[in-house]
């Protein structure tokens, strides 16, 4: 069985999300998480510590906040134990962050920025995530600021249970010229949403029941990161992650241009490309990847409607005449019950499935002639539209192979997509494996991209989308786990992938310091030492 992510605590593994000497079990984590959900306590800024005593266990839910609050106690009947929820986790670090945000507030460009900075501070001070959610409502309304920011407990990628998030912070400067190009795509977005696999009937203006009635054109900007403090440096971001806020207020997309530029590095090897294709692949590599990420963020993370009970007895669909699933041809039988969330229901599967779905949306649209024309590519452009599409399918194969090296959230998604193409595209994508020479070469049949490759991606995308929209955890898990399963044949491929691995990229973030009235930008060497030094001097 492949490792699907960072492991749960055990005799041979530990997780900072579940600290302490006593090993907490997955069943205990699940029971506590469900109890927190029942009491409307958001999990993103919490950790769980198991404290073993001779007669009973106690579970301490450590909430990140500056303030050390008195614990309140809940009984966990299924475990025969008690749970204490208390604030003050990461108190010193958050106090320093709040002090810096208070200073930043003095230089806010408008009232909206003052409001969400105040909410940041209040949330980090008290640990109240409802206040943080309110900050996100205001942050969304701060359109295309010259200085963009993201702060908070945002992404749950490193929690083995898939719901607790790590703190991250980003400050960036907007690129006006690149942002204007993205705006043109956003203005045409409604056209291309109607070409996704779950749309097509007359309902909901051609978008079908599993898509929002109104696609609010989001804020979409290209930014250059000044500092990005996170264990994962994403090329693009779509926030907030709270679906109820997204449905009511919309969302923001950002493309981090100076992170994306790493993908255009010609020095990066391509051991899984036929040498005869290497020059043409490298030439189209950056624009193909760039626009794939753009579509991933805008249409991948920006589409879909969760079938949900929004308040007692009130649903966002007709409960007496539920929408018909295009997979079964029958009315849906599952949805999100009151208080249930996407991450809460899908747990460890949520992040990898969400990334896989977004990657599929981007790739699915990358052969759309009209869309590529909006982006400036046709049969007469220097890099043709067909070349861009071909490169994306090659990249799907390459990313799938590389996914075998480190089976984390995104790599698992990439491998699942490769498996889909290998098994369901009638030879559109193949992998030449030579055990003797220890080589793997990705092949793409151009003539089958539209006729077989795209439909294969569409079938997979539809399965994931419907599972996500209808909270159909069981069938979605069965399908995705089978598709991402690493068989014996793939383990032989993995040995070659590991042997051909290049040194991992090092993203080293600058720091700013005040010297009197002057702001000093300090950069660091792109080495392990430089990374450590930058984090140490950041004091967070």
Of 36, 67, 89, the domain-final residue: 89
Residue 410: the pLDDT is 86
Query: How far lies 443's CA from each of 273, 394, 418, in Å?
Result: 8, 7, 12
Residue 115 lies in a domain: no
Residue 98 lies in a domain: no
Is residue 442's pLDDT more than 50? yes
Under the banding of pLDDT at 50, 70 and 90, the label for residue 406 is confident
Is residue 433's pLDDT more than 50? yes
Question: Among residues 366, 374, 373, 311, which one has the least CA distance to residue 337?
Answer: 311
pLDDT over 70, % of the chain: 97
Residue 507: the pLDDT is 85
Residue 268: the pLDDT is 65
Question: Among residues 237, 285, 383, 193, which one has the least CA distance to residue 375?
Answer: 383
Q: Among 88-102, 114-128, 240-254, 270-284, which is the least confidently predicted range?
A: 240-254
Residue 279: the pLDDT is 92
> What is the model's pTM?
0.85
* Angle, helices 473-483/454-470, rounded to nearest 10 degrees: 150
Taking the CB of residue 66, how many other CB atoms lie within 10 A of it? Answer: 21
436 three-class SS: coil
- Residues 400, 298 share a domain: yes
Tell me if 346 sits within 8 A of 476, measured CB to CB: yes
- CATH no. for residue 43? 3.30.70.2600
- Residues 246, 373 share a domain: yes
Residue 267: the pLDDT is 55
Residue 108 lies in a domain: no
- Residues 188, 75 share a domain: no
Q: What's the rounded Cα separation, in Å, for the pair 39 and 42?
A: 9
Is residue 138's pLDDT more than 70? yes
Backbone CA torsion sign across 368, 372, 373, 379: negative
Could you list the residue range(s) of the whole structural domain that residue 45 is in? 26-89
Give mean pLDDT, residues 371-391: 95
- Residues 444, 315 share a domain: yes
Residue 290: the pLDDT is 92
Residue 358 lies in a domain: yes
- Residues 209, 63 share a domain: no
Is residue 55's pLDDT more than 90? no
pLDDT digits (tens, 9 = 90+) for 502-529: 887 888 888 889 899 898 999 999 898 9
Tell me if 222 sits within 8 A of 257, measured CB to CB: yes
Q: What's the rounded Cα separation, in Å, for the pair 309 and 69?
A: 33
Q: What's the rounded Cα separation, in Å, for the pair 169 and 154?
A: 9
Strand segments (E) across 127-284 = 147-155, 166-174, 219-229, 236-239, 252-256
Of 89, 118, 142, the domain-final residue: 89
Question: Among residues 479, 465, 189, 188, which one has the least CA distance to residue 305?
Answer: 465
Give mean pLDDT, residues 176-198: 91
Residues shown for the chain: 540
Residue 519 lies in a domain: no
β-strands 81-89, 57-64: how paired? parallel
Which residue, chain included where needed, has tokens 């907030």? 240
At residue 257, φ and ψ (nearest 5 deg) are: -60, -40
At residue 51, φ and ψ (nearest 5 deg) are: -115, 115
pLDDT digits (tens, 9 = 90+) for 453-512: 999 999 999 999 999 999 999 999 999 999 999 999 999 999 999 999 888 788 888 888
Q: What's the rounded Cα separation, in Å, for the pair 349 and 480?
A: 9
pLDDT digits (tens, 9 = 90+) for 59-78: 999 999 999 999 999 999 99
Which residue, chain included where needed, has tokens 């966990």? 76
Give mean pLDDT, residues 442-449: 98
DSSP letter at 24? Answer: P
User: How many separate domains does the chain show?
Assistant: 2
Residue 133 lies in a domain: no
pLDDT over 90, % of the chain: 74
Half-sphere CA count of 294, side-chain side, radius 13 A: 27
Which residue, chain included where needed, has tokens 């025969």? 80
Of 89, 117, 142, the domain-final residue: 89
- Residues 175, 85 share a domain: no
Give mean pLDDT, residues 399-427: 93
Residue 153 lies in a domain: no
At residue 439, φ and ψ (nearest 5 deg) are: -130, 150
- Residues 406, 290 share a domain: yes
Question: Which are the catalytic amino acids?
Answer: 297
Mean pLDDT of the chain: 92
Under the banding of pLDDT at 50, 70 and 90, the label for residue 260 is confident
- Residues 333, 194 share a domain: yes
Residue 265: the pLDDT is 64
Q: Where are the alpha helices (DSSP H) in 46-154?
A: 91-105, 111-126, 129-141
Residue 17 lies in a domain: no
Residue 5: the pLDDT is 57
């Amino acid at each position: 069985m492949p490792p699907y992510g960072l492991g749960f605590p055990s005799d041979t593994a530990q997780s900072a999300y579940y600290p302490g000497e006593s090993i907490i079990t997955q069943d205990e984590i699940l029971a506590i998480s469900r109890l927190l959900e029942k009491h409307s306590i958001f999990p993103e800024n919490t950790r769980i510590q198991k404290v073993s005593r001779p007669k009973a266990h106690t579970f301490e839910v450590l909430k990140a906040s500056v303030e050390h609050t008195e614990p309140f106690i809940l009984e966990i009947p299924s475990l025969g134990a008690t749970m204490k929820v208390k604030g003050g986790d990461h108190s010193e670090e958050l106090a320093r962050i709040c002090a810096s945000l208070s200073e930043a507030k003095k230089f806010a460009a408008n009232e909206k920025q003052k409001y969400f900075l105040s909410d940041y501070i209040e949330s980090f001070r008290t640990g109240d995530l409802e206040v943080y959610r309110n900050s996100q409502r205001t942050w969304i309304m701060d359109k295309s600021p010259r200085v963009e920011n993201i702060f908070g407990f945002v992404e749950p990628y490193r929690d083995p249970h898939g719901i607790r998030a790590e703190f991250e912070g980003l400050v960036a400067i907007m690129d006006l010229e690149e942002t204007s190009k993205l705006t043109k795509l956003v203005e045409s977005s409604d056209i291309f949403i109607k070409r996704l696999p779950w749309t097509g009937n007359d309902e909901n203006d051609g978008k079908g029941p599993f898509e929002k009635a109104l696609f609010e054109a989001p804020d979409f900007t290209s930014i250059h990161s000044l500092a990005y403090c996170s264990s994962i440096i994403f090329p693009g971001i779509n926030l907030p992650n709270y679906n109820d806020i997204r449905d009511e207020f919309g969302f923001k997309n950002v493309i981090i241009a100076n992170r994306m530029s790493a993908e255009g590095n010609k020095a990066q090897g391509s051991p899984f490309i036929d040498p005869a294709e290497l020059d043409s692949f490298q030439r189209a590599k950056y624009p193909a990847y760039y626009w794939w990420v753009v579509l991933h963020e805008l249409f991948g993370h920006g589409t879909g409607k969760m079938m949900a009970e929004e308040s007692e007895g009130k649903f966002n669909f007709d409960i007496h005449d539920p929408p018909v699933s295009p997979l079964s041809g029958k009315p849906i039988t599952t949805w999100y019950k009151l208080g249930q969330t996407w991450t809460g229901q899908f747990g460890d599967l949520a992040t990898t499935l969400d990334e896989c779905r977004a990657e599929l949306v981007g790739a699915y649209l990358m052969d759309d002639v009209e869309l590529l024309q909006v982006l400036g590519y046709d049969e007469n452009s220097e890099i043709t539209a067909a070349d861009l599409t071909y490169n994306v399918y090659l990249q799907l194969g390459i990313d799938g192979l590389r996914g075998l090296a480190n089976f984390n959230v995104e790599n698992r998604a990439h491998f699942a997509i490769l498996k889909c193409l290998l098994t369901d595209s009638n030879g559109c994508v193949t992998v030449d494996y030579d055990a003797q020479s220890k080589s793997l070469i990705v092949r793409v049949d151009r003539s089958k991209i539209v006729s077989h490759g795209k439909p294969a991606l569409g079938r997979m995308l539809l399965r994931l989308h419907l599972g996500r929209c209808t909270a159909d955890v069981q069938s979605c898990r069965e399908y995705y786990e089978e598709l991402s399963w690493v068989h014996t044949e793939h383990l032989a491929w993995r040995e070659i992938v590991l042997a051909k691995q290049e040194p991992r990229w090092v993203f080293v973030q600058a720091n700013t310091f005040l010297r009197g009235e002057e702001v000093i930008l300090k950069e660091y060497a792109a080495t392990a030492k430089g990374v450590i030094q930058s984090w140490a001097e950041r004091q967070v």
